[in-house]
Chains A and B, each alone.
Chain A
Amino acid sequence: MNVIARPTATPLPPLPEDRRAGLSLAEAGGAALGALAANKLRAALTALGIFIGVAAVIVTVAVGAGARQQVLSQIQSLGANLLLVWGANVRLGGVSLGAGMRPNMSWDDAQAIPREIPAVEAAAGVTRQQLQVVYGNQNWATWVNGTDPAWFTAHEWTVSEGRFFTEEEASSGRKVTLLGATVAESLFGEENPVGREVRIRSTPFEVIGVLGRKGQNPMGQDQDDVVVMPYWTARRSVMGAPRAFARSVGSISVKVAEGENMAAVEEELRAFFRQRHRVAANESDTVSIRNLSEIAATRDASARTLSLLLAAVAAVSLLVGGIGVMNIMLVSVTERTREIGLRLAVGARRADILRQFLLEAVLLALLGGAAGVAVGVGLAYALGSFGGWPVLVQWDAVALAVAVSAVTGLFFGYWPARRAASLDPIQALRHE
């Protein structure tokens, strides 16, 4: 049998001074979490949309940034502000021999360029041949370059061991050489090559340095598979040429001074060679000039476009996730119509109800966003360390993705929350 306590006192004492602070944010958050916890599976499935969107954004941005980073470092390795001058396509008796096949520039052209064109910081003529380099019982086929010390400046080479050769060594034709990192490793392994002797075409050369590693160029060639020696050493000792070509170079590397207009210098170079080669006005150029960093910049731009496209696709999935949030919030408002009616009856203001449902949508989206960050960052690093992809997690993109998921919740939660807040309490209380 029920025993009813007889109320002995008057009703409850009056409440303390009414603060009318309304529903605090923490309180509304607690209520929202409670509502989400009541429907865990549904909340999880809804958050899944946001989760996938955020994870996709983070991974695609990381992969895109990694690819761009790779391209940028390749541009850097080429040497900044670099123009490469090659002999143009040459026709001999009606037969096209192809660009650079017949040397038409000389070591003296390279020497003259910085004097004639003030915007040029350094110019180095290069003659090169693929030759066998021998050390002990090891040998390696590589490109042997004969050039000036200016070449190191133009291509921004560093030395990891030893030193560059000097102007004096260059002009006197000393038999000294520097090895690229790949060549040094192939011939010497762990051993330090500096001070050792390698043979090229049976001629002994003293190794005076090892070039710092550059890696692949944007065309995928190994820039470290190279041997460098002074131009006159190369001409005299390993790359003998008929008298007509005794001073010829295959290409000239031109470094333009910082802050100068590359295109203007390119034009000046053309004019320089037209004059020097006495090209008539109606004839085509005898040289072709390539701006390598421009090629790389184009690749960078396409990498950027691709990663933007991927990020856009990911953003669309975030949008779809947001629509999922809106859908489930509308269902939730309908299901809880009676509860909303009750809350309104006991003194909740419309603003309180709005806040409660809005916070529920934002929390839902943020939960998905947080899980998306965890998995997205994890996946990006996994792709980097196991897949060998060049990934670069962009923390500002991560922050942005979280912010966007919160805004998604706010945006797609607003309409359902408005709907909840504008319910008529009488109708809502009677709702079945």
Chain B
Amino acid sequence: MHPLIETRGLSRHFPSGDGVVKALDGVDVTIHPGEFVAAMGPSGSGKSTFLNLVGCLDQPTQGTYRLAGEEVGSLSPERLAEVRGERIGFVFQSFHLLPREDALANVMMPMMYRGIPPRLRRERAEMALERVGLRERMRHTPSQLSGGQQQRVAIARALVCGPELILADEPTGALDSRTGLEIMALFQALNRAGVSILCVTHDADVAAFAGRTLRFRDGRLVDDDRHLPVDAAAMAGVPFA
């Protein structure tokens, strides 16, 4: 079986003035399916650049990146968009929901670009919302939902196309600590069910919920540490249905 993520010498350099800013420099990392990995580091450490590269939003200036065995470092922008749609689900700090659309329409949206017939789209969106416990609120617009609920809609949207990897960029950054715990508990539950997750954070408490932490500093991977995850559900005292 292929590793899910395999980077060799992955680098992203930006020309800046006379010199070069090495946002990411020579990162070798292998992540297998089913892992829950946190990428940690202060701002400017390269963790966000790493996320953008892994998420196929950006392309490396040097090195190789294989996603599920496919070399994606040198694909055309159109093909990269397709890879994003097929293999990756994004969760953002600020949710990025369409404000005018209700939860159901927000979750259905990614499937629109894949030529899925509307009936199947709706069916799957309802299933995804059920997984995050929001089936009852699928007709609510983002402004009628709490922050935690909005992030759960975003997670349902990330799940809906059946991705191999969920990329979360500071998913608890805009939430109070208790709601953040609930979101991390949801991620852990999804991970136990087999979803691979890469979560970028600057917060060690959040990284503790993952099973492995990558530490970045000045564009380099300085530490790759496997550990036992803290159980977020237990900490939050969230009763599971």
Pair A4/B55 contact, Cβ less than 8 Å: no
Q: Are A21 and B115 in contact (CB under 8 A)?
A: yes
Closest Cβ–Cβ distance, residue A422 to chain B (whole Å): 9
Cα of A8 to Cα of B110 in the assembled complex, Å: 24
Picked from A20, A338, A339, the residue with its CB within 8 Å of the CB of B115 is A20
Interface contact B57-A345, CB-CB below 8 Å: yes
Question: For B100, what are the chain A residues with a Cβ–Cβ distance below 8 Å?
Answer: 34, 38
Residue of B nearest to A34 (CB): B100
Q: Are A23 and B84 in contact (CB under 8 A)?
A: no
Closest A-chain residue to B98, C-beta based? A339
Residue of B with least CB distance to A336: B98
A13 vs B127: C-alpha distance when bound (angstroms): 10
- Chain B, interface residues (CB within 8 Å), range: 35 or more
Which chain A residues lie closer than 8 Å to B127 at the CB level?
Answer: 12
Which of these, B77, B114, B128, contacts A12 with CB under 8 Å? B128
Known: A2-B238, A23-B113, A342-B96. A11 touches B159 (CB 8 A): yes
Residues of chain A within 8 A of B111, CB atoms compared: 15
Q: Which residues of A contact B182 (CB under 8 A)?
A: 2, 4
For A20, list chain B residues within 8 Å (CB).
Answer: 82, 114-115
User: Which one of B3-11, B85-93, B198-206, B216-224 contacts A?
Assistant: B85-93
Are B162's CB and A14's CB within 8 A? Answer: yes
Q: Do A5 and B96 contact each other (CB < 8 Å), given the known contacts A15-B114, A24-B115?
A: no
Q: Which of B180-218 touch A at CB < 8 Å?
A: 182, 185-186, 189-190, 192-195
Give the contacting residue for A349; candidates B55, B81, B195; CB below 8 A. Answer: B81
A11–B116 CB distance below 8 A: no
Q: How far is the CB of B217 from chain A (nearest CB, A)?
A: 21
Asked whether any CB of chain A lies closer than 8 Å to the CB of B58, the reply is: yes
A346 lies within 8 A of B110 (CB): yes
B193 pairs with A9, CB closer than 8 A: yes
Chain A: CB-nearest residue to B85: A347
* Chain A residues numbered 7-53 whose CB sits less than 8 Å from any CB in chain B: 7-16, 18-24, 27, 31, 34, 38
Interface residues of B in 43-63 (CB under 8 A from A): 52, 55, 57-58
Residues of B within 8 A of A8 (CB): 193
Of listed A16, A344, A350, A425, residue having the most chain B CB within 10 A: A425
Taking a contact as CB atoms closer than 8 A, the residue among A1, A4, A343, A352 that contacts B186 in the complex is A4
Check B241 for interface membership: any CB of A closer than 8 A.
yes
In the complex, whether A348 has a CB less than 8 A from a CB of chain B is yes
A6 part of interface (Cβ distance < 8 Å): yes
Answer whether residue A426 sits at the interface, using C-beta atoms and an 8 A cutoff.
yes
Shortest beta-carbon distance from B107 to chain A in Å: 11
Interface centre among A8, A342, A346 (most CB of B within 10 A): A346
- Please give the distance in Å from A169's CB to the nearest CB on chain B: 84
Could you tell me which residues of chain B, from 111 to 132, have a CB within 8 Å of some CB in chain A? 111-116, 120, 124, 127-128, 130-132
Contact A345 B90 (CB under 8 A): yes
Instruction: Please indicate the chain B residues that have their CB under 8 angstroms from the CB of A426 in the complex.
Output: 52, 57-58
Q: Is A429 an interface residue (CB 8 A)?
A: yes
A19→B114 CA distance, assembly (Å)? 7
Which of these, A4, A10, A14, A346, contacts B194 with CB under 8 Å?
A: A10
Out of A12, A27, A429, name the residue touching B160 (CB < 8 Å). A12
**Residues of B contacting A281 with CB < 8 Å?**
none
A432 CB to closest chain B CB, in angstroms?
Answer: 10
A4 touches B133 (CB 8 A): yes
Chain A residues, CB < 8 A from B162: 11-15
A-B contact pairs, 19 of them (CB 8 A): A2-B133, A2-B238, A4-B182, A4-B238, A5-B130, A10-B194, A11-B190, A11-B193, A11-B194, A12-B131, A19-B115, A19-B116, A20-B115, A22-B113, A346-B110, A346-B113, A346-B157, A346-B161, A347-B84
List B residues at the A interface (Cβ < 8 Å): 52, 55, 57-58, 77-78, 81-82, 84-86, 89-90, 92, 96, 98, 100, 109-116, 120, 124, 127-128, 130-133, 148-149, 157, 159-163, 182, 185-186, 189-190, 192-195, 233, 238-241
Ranked nearest first, the 7 interchain pairs of A and B with the lowest CB-CB distance are A347-B85, A21-B115, A19-B115, A346-B110, A6-B240, A5-B133, A349-B81
User: Given A3-B241, A4-B182, A426-B52, 5 other A-B contacts at CB below 8 A?
Assistant: A5-B131, A7-B131, A344-B57, A346-B157, A350-B78
